[in-house]
Structure formats: structure tokens, C-alpha cells
Amino acid sequence: MIGPSHSEALSLKHCHPVAMRLYLNGLLKIMDTADGRVRGPRRLLASQLVTEVGPVAFAGRLQRPLQFGELGAMLDQLADRGLIESHGDAAEMNLLMVHRAPKVG
């Protein structure tokens, strides 16, 4: 498994615990290491990410799968923290892992 860089860890400190799991257990695991992107059909990748995150706490101690709406909210939070940029559309997920993208120039 790929660990977070120092700059990623600093940004993740201010994220919801589920967003941290999404980034560390999901996005880093399935990203293309050559260009720092996660891309593919939105439904397929969303299902894969929900599986990678695993059960989340609900109403105290109950565990349940992450809902797709919650997945979107967690991705938005990662984007707000400068960890990812979304370049996809309704059918295609195309996320740039900002700290993993090759430096240009």
C-alpha cells in the first residue's frame, strides 16, 4: 500500500475520518501511479471505492456501507482540502491526485 506524503498527511488531518479512509484505502490504492489519476466509469469506480472504504458508523455504533451521496460529499471535502481535482462528468470519474501528479516543467 502507498502511504501518504507529508503534505497529504497535513491536509488529511483536517478531513472527516471517512474522507481519510476514502483517500488512503481507496484512491491511493486504485490510482494510476504513472500520472496520479483515478479514472474510469463513475458507477464502477464509486462501487469500488465504497467497497474499499468498508462499513462506516451510523447512529452511534451501527455499521453500514457508505452511501453514494456520502461518497460524493467526501470527495468534495478532499477537493476542498486541495488533495484532488475533479475533471470528470456524470458518466466518467477523472480525479487528479494533486500531490501525486507528475510535476510539469
- For the domain that residue 91 is a member of, what is the CATH number? 1.10.10
Report yes or no on 104 lying in a domain: no
Confidence (pLDDT) at 2: 78
Report yes or no on 105 lying in a domain: no
Can you list the residues of the chain whose pLDDT is less than 50?
Answer: none
* Phi, psi of 50, deg, nearest 5: -60, -40
Confidence (pLDDT) at 59: 74
Quote the pTM value. 0.91
Which domain covers residue 50, as residue numbers?
A: 6-97
* Number of domains making up the chain: 1
Report yes or no on 82 lying in a domain: yes
- Are 37 and 96 a contacting pair, CB within 8 Å? yes
Report yes or no on 44 lying in a domain: yes
Confidence (pLDDT) at 105: 59
Report yes or no on 20 lying in a domain: yes
Confidence (pLDDT) at 62: 86
Report yes or no on 19 lying in a domain: yes
